């Protein structure tokens, strides 16, 4: 049992192991592409090794590769790569004896489950499914693999049936879709008639068809952009718990529930009946409980996530974090099942908390100017591993000790690269926003900063809108890259942001352009009072809701010299008619455009198009189905029709995010060139208004 809490400053350890920034280069987009991107650390059951995924960018070839590495938990040796074939090797999951690793690889030409020894040797392919495979879990009993595959519901896991349907679809001469329900496309993909199912493969008979544990017409687990995994296996290996949404009205409902099913197949049993979202099951090591997270309000995807325990013997459920007004983002059990360790957003950081399974107040275990994730407890019960990142450092893997002291950093893949560049720490700023309420954000100074200089200010507006800027590394809107271009970068967390209490998050509902806009402008006024900020050279940029806010700013003020709107909502009524997850506008705008026409009209940037004067770069991905490309097209048309300096950057092969390496570099160059050109242009001369003789 843990003797003490892990009261550590992991961000300080990040900084302490980063060389001083004297005489270093600015961190530009080309440096960003060279960072080794660490993810998905997985502790071996014996506690000796951590397997993890490393993604690297090959810019000259416009591609990425993902490979698996391992590192000892005692820090005695550097990490070592153990996969070399294929371009995508992911999802390392340990066998219960720590001797083998199951993983997902494309080395045979399609995504399949493979198995290798712990040192990477003796790799062999386990699945050969026409529908491919992903999401592998190794049964704690060692007898089977649980994984996901996108199958035709009529075929379930019968691969001959799925193969015939895939071949027929490939040879179909009619290229058309006959649609009779909503959610016919999602995020960046059209519905092709297949759904994700959880399959179970008996390792004693790997050549046999796997068993479909979740037959039906819906995706299991549901689509997710992050958070705890949607399925888990019981410690005895006999049961699988999974998250499933109702098949009824999937475009409107956020409701999901937890079910259990025998791992060998059988009838599923419903174990939660909350009308809002339940998901992310994690069994306790003793098998007595299933931990999961839950929301209370149906239809609200940004309601607070609470940590809940389901007692398997009685079916009783109890919330453990009701008194903590923060979103739970991930969690893990102590080895003796007496405690849970969990992460939660808090004022731009993501600390690790601990709470007893029997209830009581949550306590902070690991804090600091960092975001933590992937917490796992070692068998000794006295130490843990986790991943940590900050605004000035990409993800690393750490080991922390209950006795205290500095955590031990286990990975060092980026040390040589980062030693060449100046990466400054984020500075928290606090100010009075709308209605005098306290609002926070972050500020980043450019490399080689001097109090004697005056710098242009770039305000970056986050998406969501229920999201937040904070101590976390990003490969898209990375503030370090913008600071390297010579800007002081301001990262406000206005009303609607997460990590400041649920009431603060809720306040954006029905008020998209109201208090959040006032909060942002108040923050700009607060920052430009600093002597090193040039109040005449202001710019703003944002994506998704951040793009919406840029569009709103266009019609409200001319004080900015340049704007960038990426995948932003421009016309609210037409956005409602073309987006896919209707629960989002139904909640945030309190109904449909015909139920609440005044609300949609009031907060639609298109209603203020006649006021547009600021030079604006409009960016959109044609495969963005969340905010369809016509939103950007309408905005660009409004700008061009009025002679406002503007450009439209269109990506036919990108969705809501720009992910391809060459596209990302082009995006950064275009955005930074636009911003620097307009903030550095001389202001037009003001005519002499003095009286003439």
Residue of 497, 656, 664, 668 with catalytic role: 656
Beta bridge partners of 497: none
595 among known catalytic residues: no
Distance CA 496, CA 185 (A): 27
Contact 553, 563 (CB under 8 A): yes
Distance CA 131, CA 112 (A): 9
Contact 554, 570 (CB under 8 A): no
Q: Which residue blocks in 507-660 are alpha helix, DSSP H?
A: 515-528, 545-556, 572-578, 583-588, 597-602, 630-641
544 among known catalytic residues: yes
Q: 307: phi > 0 → left, psi -120 to 50 → alpha, else beta; which?
A: beta
Identify which of 58, 52, 53, 69 has the alpha carbon closest to the alpha carbon of residue 33.
58
Distance CA 333, CA 357 (A): 9
Per 3-state DSSP, the chain is made up of helix, strand and coil in percentages (nearest 5) of 20, 35, 50
**Maximum pairwise Cα distance, the chain:** 102
Contact 11, 369 (CB under 8 A): yes
Beta bridge partners of 290: 283, 310
Contact 147, 113 (CB under 8 A): yes
Contact 420, 24 (CB under 8 A): yes
Residue of 234, 497, 544, 604 with catalytic role: 544
289-294 vs 306-311, strand pairing mode: antiparallel
SS3 assignment, position 198 = strand
Q: Sign of torsion, CA 148 154 157 159?
A: negative
Distance CA 624, CA 621 (A): 5
> Can you spell out the DSSP letters for 479-530?
HHHHHHTT-EEEEEE-TT-SSS-HHHHHTTTT-TTSHHHHHHHHHHHHHHTS
412 among known catalytic residues: no
Query: What single DSSP character describes residue 610?
Result: G
For 390, list phi and psi in degrees, rounded to 5.
Answer: -140, 175
Distance CA 185, CA 178 (A): 13
Identify which of 172, 177, 126, 118 has the alpha carbon closest to the alpha carbon of residue 149.
126
Residue 405's Cα: distance from chain center in Å?
30
Contact 601, 648 (CB under 8 A): no
Contact 503, 413 (CB under 8 A): no
Mutual orientation of helices 515-528 and 545-556 as an angle, nearest 10°?
80
Residue of 624, 646, 664, 668 with catalytic role: 624
Tokens in use for 218? 């819906």
Q: Sign of torsion, CA 581 583 584 589?
A: positive
Identify which of 318, 202, 313, 219 has the alpha carbon closest to the alpha carbon of residue 265.
202
Beta bridge partners of 9: 367
SS3 assignment, position 172 = coil
Active site members: 544, 624, 656
């Amino acid at each position: 049992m843990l003797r003490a809490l892990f009261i550590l400053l992991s961000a300080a350890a990040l900084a302490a192991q980063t060389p001083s920034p004297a005489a270093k280069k600015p961190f530009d987009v080309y440096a960003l592409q060279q960072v080794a991107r660490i993810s998905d650390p997985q502790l071996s059951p014996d506690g000796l090794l951590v397997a993890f995924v490393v993604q690297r960018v090959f810019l000259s070839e416009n591609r990425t590769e993902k490979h698996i590495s391992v590192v000892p938990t005692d820090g005695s040796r550097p990490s070592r790569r153990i996969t070399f074939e294929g371009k995508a090797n992911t999802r390392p999951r340990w066998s219960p004896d720590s001797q083998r690793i199951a993983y997902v690889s494309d080395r045979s030409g399609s995504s399949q489950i493979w198995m290798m020894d712990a040192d990477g040797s003796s790799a062999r392919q386990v699945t050969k499914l026409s529908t491919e495979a992903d999401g592998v879990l190794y049964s704690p009993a060692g007898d089977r693999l649980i994984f996901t595959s996108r199958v035709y519901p009529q075929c379930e896991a019968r691969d001959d049936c799925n193969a015939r349907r895939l071949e027929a679809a490939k040879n179909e001469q009619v290229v058309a879709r006959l649609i009779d329900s909503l959610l016919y496309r999602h995020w960046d993909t059209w519905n092709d008639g297949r759904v994700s199912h959880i399959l179970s493969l008996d390792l004693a008979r790997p050549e046999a068809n796997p068993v479909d544990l979740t037959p039906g017409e819906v995706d299991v687990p549901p689509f997710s952009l992050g958070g705890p995994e949607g399925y888990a296996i019981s410690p005895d290996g006999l049961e699988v718990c999974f998250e499933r949404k109702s098949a009824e009205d999937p475009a409107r409902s956020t409701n999901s529930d937890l079910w259990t099913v025998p791992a060998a197949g059988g009838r599923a049993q419903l174990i939660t009946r909350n009308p809002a979202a339940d998901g992310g099951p994690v069994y306790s090591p003793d098998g007595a409980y299933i931990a999961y997270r839950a929301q209370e309000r149906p239809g609200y995807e940004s309601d607070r996530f609470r940590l809940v325990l389901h007692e398997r013997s009685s079916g009783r459920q109890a919330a453990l974090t009701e008194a903590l007004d923060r979103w739970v983002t991930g969690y893990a059990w102590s080895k003796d099942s007496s405690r849970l360790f969990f992460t939660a957003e808090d004022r731009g950081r993501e600390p690790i908390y601990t709470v007893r399974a029997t209830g009581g107040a949550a306590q902070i275990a690991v804090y600091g100017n960092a975001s933590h994730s992937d917490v796992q407890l070692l068998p000794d019960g006295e130490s843990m591993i986790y991943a940590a990142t900050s605004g000035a450092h990409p993800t690393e893997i750490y080991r922390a000790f209950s006795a205290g002291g500095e955590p031990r950093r286990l990975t060092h893949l980026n040390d040589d690269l980062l030693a060449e560049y100046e990466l400054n720490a984020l500075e928290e700023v606090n100010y009075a926003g709308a209605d005098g309420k306290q609002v926070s954000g972050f500020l980043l100074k450019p490399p080689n900063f001097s109090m004697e200089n005056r710098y242009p200010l770039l305000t970056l507006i986050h998406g969501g809108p229920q999201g937040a800027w904070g101590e976390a590394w990003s490969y898209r809107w990375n503030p370090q890259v913008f600071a390297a271009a010579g800007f002081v970068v301001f990262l406000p967390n206005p009303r609607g942001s997460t990590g400041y209490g649920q009431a603060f998050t809720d306040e954006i509902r029905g008020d998209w352009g109201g208090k959040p806009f006032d909060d942002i402008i108040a923050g700009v006024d607060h920052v430009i009072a600093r002597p090193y900020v040039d109040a005449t050279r202001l710019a703003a940029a944002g994506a998704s809701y951040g793009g919406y806010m840029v569009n709103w700013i266009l019609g409200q003020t001319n004080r900015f010299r340049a704007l960038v709107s990426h995948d932003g909502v421009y016309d609210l009524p037409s956005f409602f008619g073309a987006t896919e997850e209707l629960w989002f506008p139904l909640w945030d705008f309190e109904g449909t455009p015909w139920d609440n026409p005044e609300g949609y009209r009031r907060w639609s940037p298109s209603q203020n198009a006649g006021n547009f004067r600021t030079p604006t770069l409009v960016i959109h991905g044609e495969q963005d189905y969340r905010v369809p490309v016509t939103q950007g097209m309408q905005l660009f048309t409004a700008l061009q029709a009025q002679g406002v300096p503007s450009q439209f950057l269109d990506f036919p092969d990108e969705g809501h995010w720009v992910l391809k390496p060459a596209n990302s570099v082009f995006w950064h160059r275009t955005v930074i060139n636009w911003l620097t050109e307009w903030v550095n242009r001389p202001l037009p001369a003001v005519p002499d208004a003095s009286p003439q003789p």
